[in-house]
Structure 1
């Protein structure tokens, strides 16, 4: 009888289902490490740029050495000064910008920016304001000068930022917490760094001295045209007071352009703007880059409706003095305005009409 062929039974070796091969772990680790290194490098670069820019600030002004300062008020007061310093401008640039060739520094504009719980107030001080200049000592000559009556910009010419701060504090009763000054070159560079600033004018403006030629309407001003716009006053019906209104309007628009959330939160976006003005920017010894960003953000608040732009109240724009024509403040209204700022109260002084 033939031996039966055994029926094949189940394979004792279990079947193993193979999955698709995984991405090598080492490759995933390399990608992760690359991402970490990239992010770290970006953070280090941004931090390095911030630290570098902060160390480049010209902290020349020592607010603490001013004698007989007013007591600290509520909120923060910034003194913003535009000087006519030609430092950093070549002869050709001076010619192109029509800045003239005068050496040294003189004040071209002065504003006190107050920030506090009631928003921001940007107050312009006409450079021809008739004020009391405190007595001071000229460190370069050792000569002492008695208190005198003079124009506000004379304080800067005689004793630089220190005497200017003392004079403003003496005549307003406001304690200046921070000081920021920029010259022609830095102003032009900052405007160009943000890609120009859009301004609208309600009439044609043609000023042969500054070279400004604008038609009625809106324009994007580059650095050169912006400088001409904030300097010209012969075409303004209100003269220097009209010019200060233009300066306020432009600085608020510049801050609105420069202090966007994307710029303030992104060191890479903020750095070119800050770097552009560093060469001619002068600040107080306690001012840091973060304070400057806060200053720009506060100025931006003016354009967003969270603040006011105004001139110190004036009673006479053509006061005859021993120093020529000057601007006389309205003592009663000015004192009320200064008290409101010092106590961080809502400002009820009406802004000037355009």
Structure 2
């Protein structure tokens, strides 16, 4: 048996390990009670005094271990360093704000411009055709020089005539069938209420929009729902606002009266050239019949350019188009903004191949209407059956299909 450690005293040198009494030979605790590899109750200098109750492992307070959870993130301070104060600059926040601002802009510009449009009473009195399916618009291009300076009149070769006459007369029907655009040559001989038989453009000179609408309703049997008129200045400004349009004359044109000189073939033209092209007739053998076709060509080009995405994505172009369209525009006092927008949208459809565009049926180059064919065409429009219109009654120059 090994010698005792002389540094320990006599007596119960191992009481601190085994405990006194009958349990002296019982090992207290075990590996699980010695988490730190030392005695279960601590070193000798921390043992209870003999006679005092000793604590067992089950009586000890639970052990405290370091908290291994990650500390909560410290909130960023507002202000510098990319904190919360700059979160609104993130792309996912900026893009929706820009889209909302752009939508407001697209709506605000027409609303502002709407108040600048001149309203006129174009509703005739007396007996009129009954309500018909769809909506029929009367589009008038007047030769009004109102708002043009002396220099502009010289540049556009408009002359200095006062008042308004109708260089362009078109009826456009929008309904369940294909959109149908019909040109009425201004030299057409028709009965004008109170003025006998004469050229149709005289109706406007005699009685303004009301008499022109009444004359057309009595001659065609079609009820005119909405009236739209644009002058020389507005026409030119519209073309310039969209950056010019493409026209494709089939022959070279040199017309001093219209201030026009164009080569044959497709080409880009500005507002002044487009106006001259729409007015020119002396360079053609068919004169007025060719002019109405040129007018539809230019209007279709303008409508197509206005509808292009570049118009709505370019704020300067968009504002310029809307402003130009309203500066020289006159509409019936019953025409609302939705109806006017529908008119502009449908005009390009009629010219883009998805609708009909033609000249009122005529018998010969003297612009005498072919009564039978004309009544057939207008009968389809009255009934809202434009899907039944064929080339037999709808041709570009109004003459029978060849």
What TM-score, normalized by structure 1, do the two folds share?
A: 0.84
Q: 1:84 to 1:122 in 2, by over 3 A?
A: same
| Alignment correspondent of 2:167 | 108
Note the alpha carbon deviations across 1:150-171, whole angstroms, 9 max, x for none: 2101110010111101111111
Aligned length: 331
Mean Cα displacement is larger for which, 199-208 or 267-276?
A: 267-276
- Choose which of 117, 122, 136 in structure 2 pairs with 1:77: 136
Contact 1:259 1:293 (8 Å CA) reproduced? no
Distance 2:114 2:397 in 1: 39
| Alignment correspondent of 2:192 | 133
Distance 2:314 2:110 in 1: 10
Q: 1:262 to 1:70 in 2, by over 3 A?
A: farther
Distance 2:86 2:267 in 1: 54
Distance 1:41 1:244 in 2: 42
Answering whether residue 347 of structure 2 is matched by residue 299 of structure 1, we say yes
| Alignment correspondent of 2:44 | none
Answering whether residue 400 of structure 2 is matched by residue 352 of structure 1, we say no
Q: 1:163 to 1:290 in 2, by over 3 A?
A: same
Q: 1:175 to 1:37 in 2, by over 3 A?
A: same
- Choose which of 290, 311, 315 in structure 1 pairs with 2:359: 311
| Alignment correspondent of 1:258 | 306
Report matched runs for 1:335-346 at 5 Å.
335-345=375-385, 346=388
- Choose which of 234, 239, 247 in structure 2 pairs with 1:191: 239
Q: 1:347 to 1:207 in 2, by over 3 A?
A: same
Q: What CA RMSD, in Å, does the superposition of the two structures yield over aligned residues?
A: 2.9
Contact 2:184 2:359 (8 Å CA) reproduced? yes
- Choose which of 114, 121, 124 in structure 2 pairs with 1:54: 114
Contact 1:46 1:268 (8 Å CA) reproduced? no
What TM-score, normalized by structure 2, do the two folds share?
A: 0.74
SS at match of 1:329: coil
Report matched runs for 1:233-248 at 5 Å.
233-248=281-296
Higher strand share: 1
Gaps of 5+ in 2: 1-6, 9-34, 39-62, 77-82
Q: 1:13 to 1:249 in 2, by over 3 A?
A: same
Deviation at 1:293, TM superposition (A): 2.3
Deviation at 1:316, TM superposition (A): 4.0
| Alignment correspondent of 1:321 | none
Distance 1:308 1:235 in 2: 26
Note the alpha carbon deviations across 1:260-316, whole angstroms, 9 max, x for none: 366579988644212113121100112233322211221111233211221111124
Contact 1:133 1:149 (8 Å CA) reproduced? yes
SS at match of 2:126: coil
* Higher RCO, 1 vs 2 (CA within 8 Å, ≥6 residues apart): 1
Q: 1:347 to 1:86 in 2, by over 3 A?
A: same
SS at match of 2:163: coil
SS at match of 1:352: coil
Gaps of 5+ in 1: 136-146, 319-326
Contact 2:136 2:174 (8 Å CA) reproduced? yes
Q: Rg larger in 1 or in 2? A: 2
Distance 2:397 2:168 in 1: 20
Deviation at 1:19, TM superposition (A): 7.8
